[in-house]
């Protein structure tokens, strides 16, 4: 029997290609795992009215963790229009399966490292090494929202005199999305960011918030952050507003180290950080819970590139590295990262995003080159 059971969720579009590329490298490393295919994504929405079928949940429950490629999602009307005729008019509503998975398995922590690997021509600077801790189940992602605003929700909020102007606009014209945060959620993400900083010898943790406007949720997060920071005297605790940090990260990204944020701000700032180190082709992510984790690259399914075998597999390979770390396979994780960084540093083999449009090697050729590096005598010795 294999040491690990991995739920295998390629999803849609280029998700399939980057997962194939990753399998090639994991196999080359002789990573001891069995892979359990699990259906997720657009095809299952179109044909079954559910992008995350129950059988997929069962596969996840019977595995150690999941590896996920990418999914396609479309606006409400388009999603409806693509359903097979038997499923139309059944009141089915499309939802993001990855957001649902995060909620369902309580994958409360989203870890997104953004490191400039030397030699990557897309690096903004070579001395960037950021790690974003994004709270992954609360905030604006809880799905508590309305349009139009029901009378009873309006009534419940009516103690607040500021609500009157919304009634005047006509409740049928008003939409409401909530940002709900708990002390426990804030505490968990802040503590994990400091623990990570301590373990990896990082010098600072920066809270990304907006407590001057979002006074209650932002205020709660800030208080919790300050309290947690007291337990880590060797680590500097900085605070920045989301807007300001977007500017500071462009100006002086090398000054920052670990960032911690609630869900939506973490979503925003992690794309910015990815942009500093080569874009989505290099951005990996881990959705981590207490007993389960799902690893996914930050990029989407890029339908226009599907089947062309051209997209950069590095994000997915770096994602596999996060999985190896989480499984406790530190040596394999380091070997894979070394393989990836060597291929980047040599610059001989790379996809079009790195080498320029119309140039570059295929997804599989890049994976093959990484596989060669991870199996070379030198890599095995490290």
Q: Summarize as ranges the residues that interact with Mg ion (CB under 5 A).
A: 267
178 binds, among ligand IPM, Mg ion, none (CB under 5 to 8 A by kind): none
Sheet holding 258-261, edge to edge: 33-37, 4-11, 65-70, 293-297, 284-288, 109-115, 129-135, 258-261, 204-209, 236-241
Residue the block writes with tokens 């001891």: 32
Closer residue to ligand IPM in complex, CB, 119/300: 300
99 binds, among Mg ion, ligand IPM, none (CB under 5 to 8 A by kind): ligand IPM
Question: What letters, b where the CB count within 10 A reaches 16 and e where it falls short, cover 221-249?
Answer: bbebbeebbeebeebebbbbbbeebeebb
Q: Which of 16, 46, 92, 99 binds ligand IPM (CB under 6 A)?
A: 99
Query: Do residues 19 and 299 make contact, with C-beta atoms less than 8 angstroms apart?
Result: no
Element (H, E) at 66: strand 65-70
Q: Which residue stretch of 22-30, 92-100, 148-156, 214-222 sits at the interface with ligand IPM (rule: CB under 6 A)?
A: 92-100
**Site size for ligand IPM (CB under 6 A):** 5
3-state secondary structure at position 93: coil
129 binds, among Mg ion, ligand IPM, none (CB under 5 to 8 A by kind): none
Q: Report if residue 267 touches ligand IPM, rule: CB under 6 A.
A: yes
Closest distance of CB 300 from ligand IPM, Å: 7
Sequence-separated (6 or more) residues with CB below 8 Å from residue 271:
280, 283, 298
Closest distance of CB 99 from ligand IPM, Å: 5
Closest distance of CB 15 from ligand IPM, Å: 12
Element (H, E) at 216: helix 215-229
206 binds, among ligand IPM, Mg ion, none (CB under 5 to 8 A by kind): none
Closest distance of CB 291 from ligand IPM, Å: 21
Closer residue to ligand IPM in complex, CB, 96/182: 96
The DSSP string of 255-307 is G--EEEE-HHHHHHHHHHHHHHBTSGGG-EEEEE-SS-EEEEESS---GGGTT
Closest distance of CB 141 from Mg ion, Å: 11
Share of the chain residues as helix, strand and coil, in percent rounded to the nearest 5: 50, 20, 35
96 binds, among ligand IPM, Mg ion, none (CB under 5 to 8 A by kind): ligand IPM
If you compute the radius of gyration of the chain from its CA atoms, what whole number of angstroms results? 22
Q: Report if residue 12 touches ligand IPM, rule: CB under 6 A.
A: no
Q: Which residue stretch of 43-51, 95-103, 303-311, 335-343 sits at the interface with ligand IPM (rule: CB under 6 A)?
A: 95-103
Q: Report if residue 298 touches ligand IPM, rule: CB under 6 A.
A: yes
Residues near ligand IPM (CB under 6 A): 96, 98-99, 267, 298
């Amino acid at each position: 029997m294999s040491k690990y059971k991995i739920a295998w969720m390629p999803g849609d579009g280029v998700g399939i290609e980057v997962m194939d590329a990753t399998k090639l490298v994991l196999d080359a490393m002789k990573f001891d795992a069995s892979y359990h295919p699990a259906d997720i994504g657009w095809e299952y929405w179109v044909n079954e009215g559910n992008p995350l079928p129950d059988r997929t949940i069962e596969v996840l429950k019977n595995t150690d963790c999941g590896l996920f490629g990418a999914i396609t999602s479309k606006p409400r009307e388009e999603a409806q229009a693509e359903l097979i005729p038997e499923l139309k008019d059944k009141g089915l509503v499309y939802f993001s399966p990855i957001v649902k998975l995060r909620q369902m398995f309580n994958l409360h922590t989203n870890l997104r490292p953004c490191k400039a690997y030397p030699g990557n021509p897309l690096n903004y600077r070579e001395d960037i090494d950021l790690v974003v801790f994004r709270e992954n189940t609360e905030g604006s992602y809880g799905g508590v929202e309305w349009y139009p605003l029901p009378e009873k929700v309006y009534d419940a909020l009516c103690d607040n005199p500021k609500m009157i102007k919304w009634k005047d606009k006509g409740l049928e014209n008003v939409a409401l999305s909530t940002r709900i945060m708990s002390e426990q959620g804030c505490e968990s993400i802040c503590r994990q960011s400091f623990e990570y900083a301590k373990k990896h010898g990082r010098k600072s943790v920066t809270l990304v918030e907006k407590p001057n406007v979002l006074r209650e949720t932002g205020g709660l997060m800030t208080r919790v952050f300050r309290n947690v920071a007291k337990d880590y005297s060797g680590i500097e605790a900085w605070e920045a507003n989301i807007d300001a940090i977007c500017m500071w990260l462009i100006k002086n990204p090398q000054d920052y180290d670990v960032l911690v944020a609630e869900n939506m701000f973490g979503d925003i700032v992690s794309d910015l950080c990815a942009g500093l180190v080569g874009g989505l082709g290099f951005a990996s992510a881990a959705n981590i819970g207490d007993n389960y984790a799902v690893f996914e690259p930050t990029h989407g399914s890029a339908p226009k590139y599907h089947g062309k075998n051209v997209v950069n597999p590095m994000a997915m390979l770096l994602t596999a590295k996060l999985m190896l770390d989480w499984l406790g396979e530190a040596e394999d994780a380091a070997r894979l990262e070394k393989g990836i960084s060597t291929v980047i540093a040599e610059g001989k083999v790379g996809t079009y995003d790195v080498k320029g449009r119309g140039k570059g090697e295929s997804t599989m050729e890049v994976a093959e080159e990484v596989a060669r590096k991870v199996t070379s005598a030198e890599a095995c010795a490290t």
